[in-house]
Amino acid sequence: MRRRGFTLIELLVVIAIIAVLISLLLPAVQSAREAARRAQCTNNLKQLGLAIHNYIDRTNLFVPGMSAQPPGDGWAWDAKVSWRVMILPELEQTSIYNAWNLMLAEDTAGANWATGWYTLISVFQCPSDGQNTGFTPYGYAGTYSVMGPPPNPSGGATAVPTTNYNMSFGDNYAVLPLGCTNPWEDVLPLTIPVGQARRGYNGFWGTTNVVNYGGETGKMRAFADYRSGQTASVASVTDGLSNTILVGEVLPWQDNNNEMYGHTGIASGTTIPINFFTGQYNTPPTNCGGFGTCNFACRESYSTRGFKSSHPGGANFLFADGHVIFLKASINPYTYNALGSRNGGEVVSSDAY
């Protein structure tokens, strides 16, 4: 009886077909995994939105960018903790909140804040950012915190906790007038056509500071002020809660000042384009320039104050009414800036983003 079997050519054809099928399947698997991670990121932002609205119910104000500073401390070097600590009770993290002694200033707290400092809170981490473990070294290779990291209670290495979510200071200047003219922010004096949003307003990073730039009074355009003590109420959001960005995504590895609890790392703005790359390190062979550099790709430039994510094509944003939208990196910059202000009076149609 003659036995039948596969020839070598038939076997190779079958193997080739299987290889092609696997190559087609892998991108689909990766896409499904990213979709799941993006959904988790969306859920994180919704949880933060719910916590902030519960905070509003308790205090009648949006959570401020930082807790109170000592009277007369104009630069807030003795400011206390960021908004993330203040909403911990609303995130069912009261035990961690109680570990923070809010009567202490951040430059003297030291070991008193160590327990809260070294507790990883997953709702502040986006699973798509594979480079963020929740902690990073202190210094050029990681991040600079206003308060140096306290001793690790577990005996491990000291580190700075990082986050993938910053509050919005909106369309306040992120770079001007701190040093560098850039492609995204309008230089004063200027004339804006009627009905067109400006790109950048005085009060850099949401403060009242002007630094002799155009003579315009600085004020907080959105929700974050890292040193001059302004706050926002629901009534102050005259552009509409559903049309105003409250929190958005950021990438710690592209920012040398990303920190969970210090006041300088609380917020980002809408003048910098979404997903603008700032991942160059100021170490050999790059040596990109140091803090305040006009090399906008450097993670120590002020252009790091933009929103960005590891999701392809854009980033997730929490709006002031609690809903979350994925905004594309290709969004019109004027529309993006209009979404950044809470009371700028701009008209943004629902189909513009």
How many structural domains does the chain have? Answer: 1
Residue 1 lies in a domain: no
Q: In the prediction, which pLDDT does 237 show?
A: 97
Per-residue pLDDT at 101 exceeds 90: no
Judge whether 62 and 169 are in contact, CB under 8 Å.
no
Q: In the prediction, which pLDDT does 85 show?
A: 92
Q: In the prediction, which pLDDT does 195 show?
A: 63
Residue 4 lies in a domain: no
Average pLDDT (177-194) is 83
**What is the distance between the alpha carbons of residues 48 and 290, in angstroms, rounded to a whole number?**
33
The SS3 of residue 148 is coil
Q: In the prediction, which pLDDT does 248 show?
A: 98
Average pLDDT (284-305) is 90
Judge whether 218 and 203 are in contact, CB under 8 Å.
yes
Average pLDDT (168-183) is 92
DSSP string for residues in 63-123: PPSB----TT-TT-TT---BHHHHTTGGGT-HHHHTTS-TTS-TTT-GGGGHHHHT---GG
pLDDT band at 28 (very low <50, low <70, confident <90, very high): low
CA-wise closest residue to 113 among 122, 121, 102, 123: 102
Give Cβ neighbours of residue 196 (< 8 Å, ≥ 6 apart): 334
- Report the mean per-residue pLDDT for the chain: 87
Least confident range of 26-35, 184-193, 259-268: 26-35
**Token couple for 253:** 């590895």
**Token couple for 67:** 């807790």
Residue 92 lies in a domain: yes
Q: In the prediction, which pLDDT does 69 show?
A: 58
Q: In the prediction, which pLDDT does 184 show?
A: 94
Q: In the prediction, which pLDDT does 298 show?
A: 95
pTM: 0.88
The pairing of beta strand 165-170 with beta strand 267-269: parallel
pLDDT band at 92 (very low <50, low <70, confident <90, very high): very high
**What is the distance between the alpha carbons of residues 81 and 139, in angstroms, rounded to a whole number?**
20
Least confident range of 1-15, 39-53, 294-308: 1-15
Q: In the prediction, which pLDDT does 46 show?
A: 97
Give Cβ neighbours of residue 173 (< 8 Å, ≥ 6 apart): 185, 200, 201, 202, 203, 204, 205, 213, 269, 271
Most confident of 84-88, 104-108, 227-231, 290-294: 84-88
Average pLDDT (254-261) is 93
**What is the distance between the alpha carbons of residues 163 and 249, in angstroms, rounded to a whole number?**
9
The SS3 of residue 59 is helix
Cis amide linkage into residue 189, ω under 30° from 0: yes
Residue 2 lies in a domain: no
Percent of residues, the chain, with pLDDT higher than 70: 89
Give Cβ neighbours of residue 340 (< 8 Å, ≥ 6 apart): 168, 170, 171, 221, 222, 244, 245, 269, 270, 271
Q: In the prediction, which pLDDT does 7 show?
A: 73
Q: In the prediction, which pLDDT does 320 show?
A: 97
Per-residue pLDDT at 272 exceeds 90: yes
Per-residue pLDDT at 2 exceeds 70: no
**What is the distance between the alpha carbons of residues 207 and 215, in angstroms, rounded to a whole number?**
15
Per-residue pLDDT at 111 exceeds 90: no
**What is the distance between the alpha carbons of residues 53 and 322, in angstroms, rounded to a whole number?**
8
Domain span holding position 351: 11-353
Q: In the prediction, which pLDDT does 32 show?
A: 66
Q: In the prediction, which pLDDT does 170 show?
A: 96
The string of pLDDT tens digits covering residues 121-171 is 999 999 999 899 999 999 888 998 877 888 898 888 899 999 999 999 999
Q: In the prediction, which pLDDT does 243 show?
A: 94
- C-beta neighbour count of 203 within 10 angstroms: 24
Residues in the chain, total: 353
Q: In the prediction, which pLDDT does 126 show?
A: 97
The string of pLDDT tens digits covering residues 209-234 is 876 667 788 999 999 998 888 999 99
Q: In the prediction, which pLDDT does 68 show?
A: 67
The string of pLDDT tens digits covering residues 57-71 is 999 999 999 886 555
